[in-house]
Amino acid sequence: MNRILSLVKIDLNTTFGLSAIQYKFRSKQDRWQTIILIIAILSLLPSYYMIVYGLSEMYEAYFNIGQKSMFLLTGVLITQLIVFFFGILYVMSKYYFSNDLNVLVPLPIRSREIVGAKFISLMVNEYLTSLPIILPFIVIYGVKGNEGILYWVYSIIPILFIPVIPLALSSVIVMLLMKYTNIKGKKDLLRIVGYFLLIIIALTVQFEIQSVIQNSIMSEEDLFLQLITDSNLFVRKLGMIFPPSMWGALSLSNYFNVTGFLHSLLFIGVSIGIFLIMLYLSEKVFFDGLIGNLEVGTSNGSGKVKSTDFRKKLPVFLAIGLKEIKVLIRTPVYLLNSIGVVVLVPILFVMPTYMGGDHFMKQLNMIISGNPNLISLIGSGMIILLGIMNCVGCTTFSREGRNFWIQRTIPIRAKDQIFGRVLSSLFVQLIGISVLLGSIAYMGMITIDSIFWISILGLLGSIAMAELGMLVDIFRPLLDWDNPQKAMKQNLNVLIAMSVGALYLLGVGFLVYKLLGKMNMLFIYCIIGGIFIISSFGFYILLRRMIERQFLILE
């Protein structure tokens, strides 16, 4: 146990840079970074307020039909699903691609101690994700329902244990996948394909179960009678999607009787049990999946140095772009955080049509029929938003890490650096456009016009977003990292770029809203494209000067 606590302390210090934070806080030169972080967080507060306001209205809707416990289930279920899906990325990076493994593995430390320490460290990281999601549900339920002190005491249990089960399940899945895909020469491809299939299958099963349960609820002849007699009807029905979420919700909604106490014990007991099972399995499979990863840690590839045909000459910007694309594809952490985002978001976009059936499609058609150009506008806006969410542009220099000095020493013009890195971002965006168009086609709403304008406006806006992210990243690149996950998901540049990019897109969207109905749609499209082109050129000028400056002063 002492070993695990020592490892946890070291891992937390390394993950969150606690010592570095203390030093920077005392240093007047680095205090501006704290100011930037505060500004970035404040810029997200209006959107967060609107979400909380919407949740408050949701509580009222459930309360009016006597099913307010369903409000808690919604919060717990959403939180655990998000922890599960993102946990797959975090676990893969933390367990198998962290640089500290080269030090830990040769030491006389058991695999369950390594995994246990990394799991606890991930738990702390997941609290940063889960708390902003689950707290509004708990607070709204408690305040609006005038719940007693015992409710607030019980609420500590789901807050602490919500990430345990989904994160442990993610750990088990990743460890098994790493063990049985550790095939020489093909392991990276098999793992990447396996991760995507796993996420798609999990999403499909989840929505299929939810659809079946919803249909069974709607088909009940005595539904209204059941609603009156059973205030937990919806929780018990829909809770079958993921039973631990049901236990957490029922422990809070029934805190005043023995049912709540028993569900609390069940929630805690199953969480601890799955955690112990995960530790037991780690003794059997962790090192087997790790073999091979450490051997190729210095080659960034198959472990063999491949001969290069120097007779093939490519334009410098194209060579840089291809290098960036290869790094994204060959590093599973980067691949899932970039391409994975642009693939999953459009799929989630089309899921409500699958769940809601004809009723949802009729409502959607009524909205679109009034203004058929909404498909093109919303689609292009989503692609542009993905341009900053894919994290390719805003981490392009940070991903170089300690090898950044190579980019500074080789004779490459800033113009080629920009063109090449924007090219890699557009490669990811083209995948996102293809998936989004496929999703729209699935809904039967695609036209030649929508394909054209979504593609053109989406790409033009993506160039501006990529350059905007690159401006943030070159200004303060995160080059000192021991885990590729830090370069992309634990990088403050991502939050800053997303905040600025969201404001930029919000401004363009507000302008379009004001112009709708006042001029021909073709002119509106041209105005939007003109804004993106002018912005891209302006960002390019700033970025070229910033790269030339930073390449001289960065160490």
- Flag whether pLDDT at 359 surpasses 60: no
- Rounded Cα gap, residues 354 and 499, in angstroms: 31
HEC profile for 23-89?
Answer: HHHHCHHHHHHHHHHHHHHHHHHHHHHHHHHHHHHHHHHHHHCCCCHHHHHHHHHHHHHHHHHHHHH
Q: Encode pLDDT of 439-490 as tens digits.
A: 888 777 778 888 899 999 999 999 999 999 999 989 888 888 777 777 777 7
Q: What is the mean pLDDT of residues 501-525?
A: 88
Query: DSSP 3-state assignment of 147?
Result: coil
- Plot region of 21 (φ>0 → left; ψ -120 to 50 → alpha; else → beta): alpha
Burial class (CB in 10 A: 0-12, 13-18, 19+), 76: buried
Q: Quick check: 473 and 493 in contact, CB under 8 A?
A: yes
Higher pLDDT, 188 or 74: 74
Residue environment code for 517-530, b if the CB has 16+ CB neighbours within 10 A, otherwise e:
eeeebeebbeebbe
Burial class (CB in 10 A: 0-12, 13-18, 19+), 185: exposed
Contacts of 96 by beta carbon, 8 Å cutoff, 6+ apart = 174, 178, 289, 290, 293
Sign, CA dihedral 346-349-354-358, equals negative
Give residue 420's identity as a one-letter amino acid code.
Answer: G
Burial class (CB in 10 A: 0-12, 13-18, 19+), 495: middle
Q: How confident is the model at residue 201 (pLDDT cuts 50, 70, 90)?
A: low
- Rounded Cα gap, residues 76 and 133, in angstroms: 9
Higher pLDDT, 548 or 5: 548
Longest Cα–Cα distance of the chain, Å, equals 79
- Flag whether pLDDT at 299 surpasses 50: no
Question: For the chain, what percent of residues have pLDDT higher than 90?
Answer: 14
DSSP string, 297-344: TTTTSSSS-----TT----HHHHHHHHHHHHHHHSHHHHHHHHHHHHH
pLDDT at 305: 39
Reading the block at residue 539, the tokens are 């960002």
pLDDT at 300: 42
Burial class (CB in 10 A: 0-12, 13-18, 19+), 55: middle
Contacts of 508 by beta carbon, 8 Å cutoff, 6+ apart = 461, 528, 531
Q: Which residue has the tokens 């990088």?
A: 491
- Rounded Cα gap, residues 496 and 542, in angstroms: 17
pLDDT at 227: 45
pLDDT at 307: 39
- Rounded Cα gap, residues 126 and 128, in angstroms: 5
Q: Quick check: 158 and 267 in contact, CB under 8 A?
A: yes
Reading the block at residue 58, the tokens are 């949701």
Q: Quick check: 357 and 509 in contact, CB under 8 A?
A: no
Per mean pLDDT, which of 1-15, 199-213, 406-420 is the most reliable? Answer: 406-420
Q: Quick check: 340 and 193 in contact, CB under 8 A?
A: no
Q: Quick check: 195 and 88 in contact, CB under 8 A?
A: yes
Q: What is the mean pLDDT of residues 131-157?
A: 89
Give residue 237's identity as a one-letter amino acid code.
Answer: K
Work out the end-to-end distance of the chain between its first and last CA atoms, rounded to an integer number of angstroms: 40
Q: What is the mean pLDDT of residues 321-328?
A: 88
The residue extents of the domains of the chain are: 1-39, 63-290, 316-553
- Rounded Cα gap, residues 316 and 423, in angstroms: 12
- Flag whether pLDDT at 296 surpasses 90: no
Q: How confident is the model at residue 541 (pLDDT cuts 50, 70, 90)?
A: very high
- Rounded Cα gap, residues 55 and 48, in angstroms: 11
Per mean pLDDT, which of 38-52, 163-177, 183-197, 349-363 is the most reliable? Answer: 163-177
Q: State how far the alpha carbon of 46 is from the alpha carbons of 42, 49, 246, 269, 502, in Å.
A: 8, 5, 31, 39, 12
Query: DSSP 3-state assignment of 108?
Result: coil
Helix (H) or strand (E) holding 254: none
- Alpha carbons within 13 A on the beta-carbon side of 249: 30
Higher pLDDT, 543 or 90: 543
4: closest CA among 122, 118, 94? Answer: 118
Reading the block at residue 47, the tokens are 């959107």
Q: Encode pLDDT of 6-37 as tens digits.
A: 777 776 766 655 555 555 555 555 556 566 66
Higher pLDDT, 387 or 100: 387
pTM of the predicted model over 0.95: no
Q: Would you give the distance in Å from CA 119 to the centre of its chain? A: 19
Reading the block at residue 39, the tokens are 């500004």
- Flag whether pLDDT at 366 surpasses 70: no
pLDDT at 368: 61
Q: How confident is the model at residue 540 (pLDDT cuts 50, 70, 90)?
A: very high
Q: Encode pLDDT of 69-113 as tens digits.
A: 788 888 888 888 888 877 877 787 778 777 677 777 777 788 888
Reading the block at residue 69, the tokens are 């416990």
Q: Encode pLDDT of 41-70 as tens digits.
A: 676 677 777 888 888 888 887 788 777 778
pLDDT at 271: 92
Polymer length of the chain: 555
Tell me the pLDDT of the chain averaged across its residues: 77
pLDDT at 471: 92
pLDDT at 13: 66
Q: State how far the alpha carbon of 226 is from the alpha carbons of 166, 223, 230, in Å.
A: 31, 5, 6
Q: What is the mean pLDDT of residues 194-202?
A: 63
**127-136, 236-245, 546-555: lowest mean pLDDT where?**
236-245
Rg of the chain, C-alpha, whole Å: 25
pLDDT at 530: 94
239: closest CA among 226, 253, 250? Answer: 250
pLDDT at 419: 92
Query: DSSP 3-state assignment of 221?
Result: coil
**69-78, 132-141, 149-158, 309-318: lowest mean pLDDT where?**
309-318
Q: Quick check: 123 and 163 in contact, CB under 8 A?
A: yes
